[in-house]
């Protein structure tokens, strides 16, 4: 079975199209513990990571200062 890419995830697209949809909210909740998202998140550049944090209000892996 081919590995899915978080960049092309259908649920992520649903979130991007309508964050308040059931599928969009499910995807947003899911990225808090998804090992695939964690791998994807740390594989992108720092600039892209900052964009993901802002776009998805994602703060789980931010360092506490």
pLDDT tens sequence across 9-42: 999 999 999 999 999 999 999 999 999 999 999 9
Single pTM value for the model: 0.83
Name the phi and psi angles at 41, rounded to 5: -55, -45
Q: Which of 55, 64, 63 is nearest to 6 (CA)?
A: 55
Segment 35-65, tens digit of pLDDT? 999 999 999 999 999 999 999 999 998 765 4
Helix axes 46-56, 35-43, angle to 10 degrees: 130
Q: Where are the domains of the chain?
A: 6-56
What distances in angstroms separate CA 1 from CA 4, 9, 26, 63, one per listed residue? 9, 15, 23, 35
């Amino acid at each position: 079975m081919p590995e899915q890419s978080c960049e092309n995830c259908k649920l992520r697209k649903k979130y991007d199209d309508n964050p308040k949809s059931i599928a969009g909210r499910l995807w947003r909740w899911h990225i808090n513990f998804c090992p695939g998202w964690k791998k994807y998140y740390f594989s992108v550049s720092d600039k892209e990571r900052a964009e993901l944090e802002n776009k998805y209000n994602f703060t789980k892996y931010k360092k506490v200062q």
